[in-house]
Amino acid sequence: MVDSMRVPRTPFQPSPLVRSGSAQTMLAMIRPKGIDITRDERPMLLDAGYDHTGADPEQPVRLLGYYNAGRVPGINRGLVLILHGWEGCSHSNYNLILAQYLAERGYATFRLNLRDHGPHLHVNPYALNRGVFRATLIEEAATATAQIAHLAGNRPFYIVGASMGGNFALRLAKWHSEQAPFANLRKVVAVCPAINPARATDALDRHPGTRRYFRKRWLRSLYAKQALFPDRVDVREVAEIALVRDMTEWFVQQPDHMGGRRYRSADDYFADYTVTGDALGSLAVRTSIITAQNDPVIPVVDFYTIAPHPLLDVQIHASGGHCGFVDGPPVRHLMPDLIYPELLAA
C-alpha cells in the first residue's frame, strides 16, 4: 500500500439501498433538476497544435470546449478544467453537475472535449479532425490545457478528470512536471481514473451491460468518422467483434491512416497510457485520486501499485461505483462534495 493512501477524512457512506457498485454507477446517469449551466456556457474552439495522428499534418488539431464564468458576484476562486471519460463529453451528467456546483461557489470552469468527443451542439465533433481519437494523444490535450490555463489570468488553475478523463488529468500532472508547466496550476484531481487501461478494459468486458454500453458508443463514433472520411476509416470488420479488448486489438493494428502509430498489440497500446507504479514519481503539483473499492470498471487493486509521493494523495472509499458517489433516495449527486474540499485545500 502506498504511504499516501488513506481512509478518507469523510468517508462516502450512502444508504444501503444504493451502496452497490452497479447501483452507484447506474444512478450517476440520472440528471437532477435545476441543472442550467448550459444556459450561460460559451463555446470555444481551440488550436491544439500539431496532429500527431499524421492524418492532417498541414492543419492544427481543433478541440471544442465550453467556458462558464463563476456565478458568485465579486468572488473569483480560479478556473477548473473538467475532463470527461471515454465516449463521454463536455455535457455528460457528471461534468454539468460539477460545473454548476463549482460555478455556484465562485469558480469558472472549462469543459474540454477530447478529439472525436462532443455534444453535437455547435459543430460535428467528428468533423473537426481527420485522425481518429486515441487515448495516447496527450500532446494535443496538453496544448489545449496550456491555452485554457491562461484564461485564468492570475487566478489559480485546477484540473479535474473522471474515468479516462482522470487518466488524462494524471498524465497532464506528469506533463506539467516533466515537459512544460501550466500557468498557475495548483491542484489535479482524478476521480475513478483508468490508471491501468488493460485491466479496466477486461473488467468492462466481464460485465455484459457495461460492455454493450461502451461497445455501442465506440461503434457509433467510428461509424460517424467513417461517414465523414471514408478514405481513412473502414470499420466494417470491427463491427463483428464482440469484446472491447478485441476491438482495441484490431484498431491499434490498422494502417497508419486510421489514427497514427500502429502497435503490435492492445497491451502495447494500453501500456503507453498506463499510470501505475512510479509513473507519477516526478510530480510537481499536488494531486489527489478519489476512487471506490466497488468500482465495477476500474479494479481497486491497481491503486495499491502506485509508488508513494509527498504530493500524491489516494483516497479509496468503500462505495461509489464508477464515477457515481450518489446517495438516495431521493438521488443526490455527491461527487462534487468530494472534489470541492480538494480544491479549497490547494
d(CA 9, CA 28) in angstroms, rounded, equals: 23
Using CB atoms within 10 Å of the CB of residue 169, give its burial: 0 to 12 exposed, 13 to 18 middle, 19+ buried.
Answer: buried
Q: Is the pLDDT of residue 9 over 90?
A: no
Whether residue 235 is contained in a domain is answered as no
Pairing relationship of beta strands 62-68 and 42-47 according to DSSP bridges: antiparallel
Q: Is the pLDDT of residue 132 over 70?
A: yes
CATH number at residue 135: 3.40.50.1820
Based on the structure, what is the number of domains in the chain? 1
Convert 241-257 to b/e letters by CB count within 10 Å (16 or more is b).
beebbebbbbbbebeeb
Of the candidates 82, 99, 85, 79, the one whose C-alpha atom is nearest the C-alpha of residue 35 is 99
Whether residue 181 is contained in a domain is answered as yes
| Domain that includes residue 197, residue range | 5-202+276-344
pLDDT tens across 142-186, in order?
999 999 999 999 999 999 999 999 999 999 999 999 999 999 999
Whether residue 238 is contained in a domain is answered as no
Q: Is the pLDDT of residue 300 over 60?
A: yes
d(CA 102, CA 111) in angstroms, rounded, equals: 12
Q: What whole-number percentage of the chain has pLDDT above 70?
A: 97
Whether residue 100 is contained in a domain is answered as yes
pLDDT tens across 59-71, in order?
999 999 999 999 9
Q: How confident is the model at residue 56 (pLDDT cuts 50, 70, 90)?
A: confident
pLDDT tens across 200-233, in order?
999 999 999 999 999 999 999 999 999 999 988 8
Considering only the C-alpha atoms of the chain, give the largest distance between any 2 of them, rounded to a whole number of Å: 56
Whether residue 78 is contained in a domain is answered as yes
Q: What whole-number percentage of the chain has pLDDT above 90?
A: 89
Using CB atoms within 10 Å of the CB of residue 275, give its burial: 0 to 12 exposed, 13 to 18 middle, 19+ buried.
Answer: buried
Whether residue 113 is contained in a domain is answered as yes
Whether residue 208 is contained in a domain is answered as no
Of the candidates 63, 223, 86, 224, the one whose C-alpha atom is nearest the C-alpha of residue 147 is 63
More confident residue, 346 or 229: 229
Centroid of chain to Cα 206: 22
The answer for residues whose C-beta is within 8 angstroms of residue 80's C-beta and 6 or more apart is 102, 107, 108, 109, 110, 157, 158, 159, 160, 343
Q: Is the pLDDT of residue 43 over 80?
A: yes
Residue 157 grid cell: 488553475
Whether residue 180 is contained in a domain is answered as yes
**Within 10 Å of residue 21's Cβ, how many Cβ atoms?**
19
pLDDT of residue 46: 98
